[in-house]
Structure 1
C-alpha cells in the first residue's frame, strides 16, 4: 500500500497514518446466520454488552434497515450491469453483514491531518454509511483524482468493496478511501464547540457481505472479460479470511489457498 501511495501524484496523495487509528469501533453481526457453514467464526453470534437491555433491538433494527438499502442498490446494480436482478442479492443471503458504529473523540484528536482511517479499500461487497456530523472522508475516483466526500442531509453514502470488484471481473473497482481531519472538519468542530454540542464524530457504517459459503467469481458476461482471469473462483469466506490475515486481524492459516481450484461448494440456504 505504501508503494501504491508513492505512485499517486502529490496533489492527490493519501495521508500516511502514524500509529494506530485513534477511533473506537464496535462490530455487530446483522441478520440470520447459516445453520451450516465452513466459516463458523465469521458467522458466530454477536456479543451483547452488559447494561444495555435495548442493545440488540436497536442494533438489529438499524442494521436491518441499512442492509435493506444495500439490497435495493444491489438489485439496481444487477440491472444496470445487464445481469439478472437478483444476481448479487441471491449471494448476499445469510451473509456475515456487520453494523460497525464508529466513534472518534475530536476534543482529543481534532488536529488537522490526523488520520482516523488510512488509505484502504473495503474487503466486503458494499459498504453503506449514515451521514456523520463531522466531515472527514476522502475518496479516489477511477482516474486517480482525490475528492472530499460531501453527504447531503437525509442521504446515505455507499462504496463498492472488493467482493463487488471480484463479481464484476474488475469492471467495478473497490473504492479507495481514507478518513482525515480536514479544514472542513475543523470548522465543524468550532461550530459544535460554540453550540455546546458533542465533539464525538460518530459514523454509522454497515458492511454488506456475500455469504461466506458462496463462490466469488465474475458473473454472467463479466466471465468473458479479459480481466476475468485475475478473479479466479474462491469461497467468499476464504477470501475474507485471507484479507483479514493480511491486515493482522486474523492469524494466518497453515497452507496455501488454491485460487485456481476453489474448494467451496455451491451456496445453500440453511
Structure 2
C-alpha cells in the first residue's frame, strides 16, 4: 500500500491571509510549491491536508450519501437525466463504460505494462452509480448551455443542498489552492490555472458501489481510465480499492490518511502543460482489504455502500485549453491544439456515455490469476 507524501496547506493558507506582498509568499513557499508540481508531474496524484476540510465534514457527507444510495432503484431513477449526458442527477449502474474497453490507444498502453502492473479488465459497463451535483457560480452566457443544466434534488432529503454545497465548496477551495501552488511550482504566474477555473462547471460527483451485491474480490467498479477534467479531489472512503499508475508505469494501491484528501491530475491539466503533467490513470476494484472492510461493516451493522466523495474541478467551458507559458515549447505540445474546454468535454462524454450502443470487445491481454 503506497502512502504518497502529505502536503499540509495550513502554512501557505495562513501566509496568504497575512502577507501583503504576494512575492514574499511565493518566495517563502517556493520549495513546497515545487513539491506539489513535482508530485503531480511524476505520480499524477497528491495527498493534502487542508484545515478547512475536516473529517467531520467528510463523515456528514458520507452518512447522507449512504442513506441516498440505500434507497430503491425506482426512487433513484427519478433523478436520472440522460438527455443532458448525465451531467446532472443520477447515473445508474451499467451506464458509464470504461474507455479502456474500446480505446485502442489505451489498450496498447495497458498491454505495454509489466505483468504485475496490468489493470483488471472490466467485463462491461461499470457497476457503480454516480450522482452529479454542480455547485458554484455559473457563467451568465455560454456556448455550452446544454452542459450547464439545473441541479436535481431528490425528495425526502432536506439537508441535500446544504450538505453537498458545503462539502463541494470546501473541496474546490482546496483544489484552487493546489492549482495556485502548482502554477508557482511549474514556473507559471500564480493565477495561470485558477483564472481559467473561474465559473467553471465544478461537479461534486459521489459514486455508490453496492458491496452487498458486488462485493466479490476483483470486481471492477471503475475500469482503467483517466479523468477528463482539470484536477479531481476525493475525501477518504470507508472502503479501500483505489489503484493508481505512476508515470514510470508502476501500479500502486493508495492509502489516504485520516483527515486528508487525495488529488489526481486530469486531462485538462495535461493539456495546459503540453503533456508534461499526464492525466493520472487509475481504477477502483474490490481487493482483499475491501473484502475485510465489507465483513467488518457487516458485523457492525453499517452500510455496505462504498461511497466516494469526489469533486471534479474543471476549466471553464468557454476558456481555451492550450499549453501555457513555457509549456508551449514542450516536446509534445503540438499534440494539444487550442480547443474550447466545453468542446473537449462534449467530445469525451460522447465516447464514455454509450447509451443504446453495444460496447466493442476489448483487445486486452488478461492478467494472470
Number of residue equivalences:
251
Following the alignment from structure 1 to structure 2, what is the Cα–Cα distance between the partners of residues 162 and 60? 25
- Once the 2 structures are TM-superposed, how far is the Cα of residue 39 of structure 1 from its aligned partner? 0.4
Taking structure 1 as the reference length, the TM-score comes to 0.90
String of CA shifts for 1:153-198, please: whole Å, max 9, x gaps: 1110000000000000111000000000001111111222222222
| Pair 1:200 & 2:316 matched | no
User: Residue 165 of structure 1: which of 270, 279, 295 is its match?
Assistant: 270
| Pair 1:111 & 2:219 matched | no
1:241·1:250 contact (CA, 8 Å) conserved in 2?
no
Following the alignment from structure 1 to structure 2, what is the Cα–Cα distance between the partners of residues 245 and 21? 16
| Pair 1:180 & 2:285 matched | yes
**What residue is the counterpart of 2:122 in the other structure?**
17
Taking structure 2 as the reference length, the TM-score comes to 0.66
| Pair 1:87 & 2:189 matched | no
**What residue is the counterpart of 2:65 in the other structure?**
none
Gaps spanning 5+ residues in structure 1: where?
A: 252-270
Following the alignment from structure 1 to structure 2, what is the Cα–Cα distance between the partners of residues 11 and 203? 26
Following the alignment from structure 1 to structure 2, what is the Cα–Cα distance between the partners of residues 159 and 181? 20
> What secondary structure is seen at the aligned counterpart in 2 of 1:207?
strand
User: Residue 294 of structure 2: which of 178, 183, 189 is its match?
Assistant: 189
Gaps spanning 5+ residues in structure 2: where?
A: 1-105, 357-369
**Structure showing the higher helix proportion among its residues:** 2
> What secondary structure is seen at the aligned counterpart in 2 of 1:56?
helix
String of CA shifts for 1:75-114, please: whole Å, max 9, x gaps: 0101100011111000000001110111111111111000
CA RMSD, Structure 1 to Structure 2 (Å) = 1.4
**What residue is the counterpart of 1:138 in the other structure?**
243
- Once the 2 structures are TM-superposed, how far is the Cα of residue 250 of structure 1 from its aligned partner? 8.5
Following the alignment from structure 2 to structure 1, what is the Cα–Cα distance between the partners of residues 351 and 229? 14
Following the alignment from structure 1 to structure 2, what is the Cα–Cα distance between the partners of residues 250 and 182? 29
**What residue is the counterpart of 2:134 in the other structure?**
29
| Pair 1:52 & 2:161 matched | no
1:192·1:198 contact (CA, 8 Å) conserved in 2?
yes
User: Residue 99 of structure 1: which of 200, 204, 220 is its match?
Assistant: 204
String of CA shifts for 1:191-249, please: whole Å, max 9, x gaps: 22222222211110000000000000010111121211011100000010111112236
**What residue is the counterpart of 1:129 in the other structure?**
234
